């Protein structure tokens, strides 16, 4: 153990590895914490989560993106959208077959595992 | 004796002719649209209580997808579209509904968001896609959306919005064979589905999709914690940024979602954390963007 960090300490995220994140503290100490104990911040203090046991951290501000006034998929655009069936047909055009999906996964080195859902009640 | 037998046969033939005549007349009557028009009360009850069929689920999903694509069309990059379909279907094949007509697409919008429609169409925005660092993160997002389809979260919400009469009225329109009336009824479902993207699902549905999504990613051979990475990226975006306005309105905050995962997961997925995150095909596909 390198250090015990208080909840909501600000740290810099250096690296991610599996379920862990390598972070450095303001005084320059480095260590690994569970990825799920790390919360990012957008610069607004009210945005931080308040986990009772989870320590809450902030990363550096390097990842903060700001873009204002973008035209995109807004509420109004969705509500006023006219159906575009031609684009639905294009979706069909790019559809994958199970054979293609399996071949791609094999090349990517993906191997299936048996993992049960975490839900108390099983999904139907 | 002979004449009596002949007489009997003659009577029989006459009776058969009469029966056949009545039967045809009855059939004619049954086929008359005017007679078919009204569903009986018991038929109505049965209609209201029946489950939406898988074909109807797919029809609703197609209609909602058509509206969504009307707001933002697919990105004109065939390589990218084929790539995410391979990743998406590979994930879906590890689930309890592998045979749905799964389709995936990246839509041309700088907003950060992802959508699933009933029946297995999953669309994510270019704005979100560009935030992803690896195929493992893409898998996390797609598996979250796949979970909504598996659990019929959108379908159930659409049904709730329409009420039980919708199924009855649709059956009525089908019985009356009125094209415009049928189209009108489907259209109501598509509108309800589109409104859902503006209103959002229950918070509980979102938390569940995060948990299930991590499990599905792990089944497919990915590092399930890559979804955590995506949520941390989303947490870095200023909530007042217009590109995340709709997503933040319709989803619990990324910090809340991470809290929930932290509380529910324990260390149950730690054994899969060293699975695949980065792939060459992700890098290759993005090089062509």
pLDDT exceeds cutoff 90 at B287: no
By 3-state DSSP, what share of chain B in percent is helix, strand and coil, each rounded to 5? Answer: 70, 5, 25
Distance in Å, alpha carbon of B69 to nearest chain A alpha carbon: 6
List, as ranges, residues 1-30 from A with C-beta within 8 Å of B.
Answer: 16, 18-20
CB distance from A76 to chain B under 8 Å?
A: no
Does residue B153 contact residue B245 with C-beta atoms inside 8 Å?
Answer: no
Set of chain B residues whose Cβ sits within 8 Å of the Cβ of A64: 236-238
- pLDDT tens per residue, range A38-78: 888 765 433 333 332 233 344 433 333 333 333 457 788 88
Distance in Å, alpha carbon of B277 to nearest chain A alpha carbon: 9
- pTM for this structure? 0.83
> Which residues make Cβ contacts (< 8 Å) with residue A72, sequence separation at least 6?
B72, B109, B110, B111, B125, B127, B242, B243
Cross-chain residue pair B71–A41, CB shorter than 8 Å:
no
> Which residues make Cβ contacts (< 8 Å) with residue B7, sequence separation at least 6?
none
Cross-chain residue pair A83–B66, CB shorter than 8 Å:
yes
Q: How far is CA B170 from the centre of its chain?
A: 19
CB distance from A45 to chain B under 8 Å?
A: no
- pLDDT tens per residue, range B188-218: 999 999 999 999 999 999 999 999 999 999 9
- pLDDT tens per residue, range B4-44: 555 444 444 444 555 555 666 666 655 655 555 677 888 88
What is the pLDDT at residue B47? 83
Residue, of A73 and B132, whose pLDDT is higher: B132
Query: Which tokens go with A39?
Result: 């919360």
Sign for the CA dihedral angle at B187, B189, B193, B195 comes to positive
CB distance from A122 to chain B under 8 Å?
A: no
Query: Which tokens go with B125?
Result: 């925005």
Cross-chain residue pair B150–A95, CB shorter than 8 Å:
no
CB distance from A74 to chain B under 8 Å?
A: yes
Nearest to B95 by CA among A16, A122, A4: A122
What is the pLDDT at residue A51? 30
Cross-chain residue pair B242–A72, CB shorter than 8 Å:
yes
The owner of tokens 């990743």 is B87
Residue B266, number of CB atoms within 10 A of its CB: 10
């Amino acid at each position: 153990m390198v250090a015990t960090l208080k909840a909501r300490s600000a740290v810099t995220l250096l690296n991610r590895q599996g379920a862990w994140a390598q972070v450095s503290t303001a005084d320059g100490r480095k260590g690994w914490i569970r990825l799920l104990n790390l919360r990012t911040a957008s610069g607004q203090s009210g945005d931080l989560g308040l986990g009772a046991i989870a320590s809450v951290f902030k990363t550096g501000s390097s990842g903060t993106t700001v873009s204002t006034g973008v035209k995109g998929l807004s509420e109004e655009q969705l509500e006023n959208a006219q159906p575009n069936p031609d684009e639905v047909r294009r979706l069909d055009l790019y559809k994958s077959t199970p054979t293609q999906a399996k071949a791609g996964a094999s090349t990517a080195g993906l191997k299936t595992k048996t993992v049960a859902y975490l839900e108390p009640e099983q999904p139907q | 004796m002979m004449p009596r037998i002949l007489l009997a046969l003659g009577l029989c033939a006459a009776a058969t002719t009469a029966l056949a005549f009545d039967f045809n007349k009855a059939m004619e009557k049954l086929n008359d649209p005017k007679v078919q028009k009204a569903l009986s009360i018991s038929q109505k009850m049965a209609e209201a209580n029946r489950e939406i069929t898988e074909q109807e689920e797919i029809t609703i999903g197609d209609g909602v997808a058509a509206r969504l694509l009307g707001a933002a069309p697919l990105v004109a990059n065939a390589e990218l579209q084929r790539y995410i379909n391979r990743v998406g279907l590979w994930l879906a094949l590890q689930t309890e509904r592998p045979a749905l007509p799964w389709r995936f697409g990246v839509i041309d919008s700088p907003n950060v968001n992802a959508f699933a429609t009933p029946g297995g169409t999953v669309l994510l925005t270019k704005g979100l896609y560009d935030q992803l660092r690896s195929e493992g993160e893409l898998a996390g997002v797609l598996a979250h959306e796949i979970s909504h389809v598996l659990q019929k979260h959108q379908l159930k919400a659409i049904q709730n919005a329409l009420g039980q009469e919708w199924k009855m009225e649709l059956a009525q329109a089908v019985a009356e064979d009125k094209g415009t009336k049928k189209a009108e009824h489907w259209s109501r479902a598509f509108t309800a589905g589109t409104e859902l993207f503006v209103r959002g699902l229950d918070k509980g549905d979102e938390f569940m999709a995060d948990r299930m999504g991590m499990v599905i990613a792990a089944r497919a051979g990915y590092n399930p914690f890559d979804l955590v990475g995506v949520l941390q990226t989303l947490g870095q975006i200023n909530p007042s940024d217009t590109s995340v306005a709709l997503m933040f309105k319709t989803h619990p905050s990324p910090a809340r979602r991470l809290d929930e995962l932290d509380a529910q997961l324990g260390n149950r997925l730690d054994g899969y954390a060293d699975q695949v995150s980065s792939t060459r095909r992700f890098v290759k596909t993005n090089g062509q963007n």
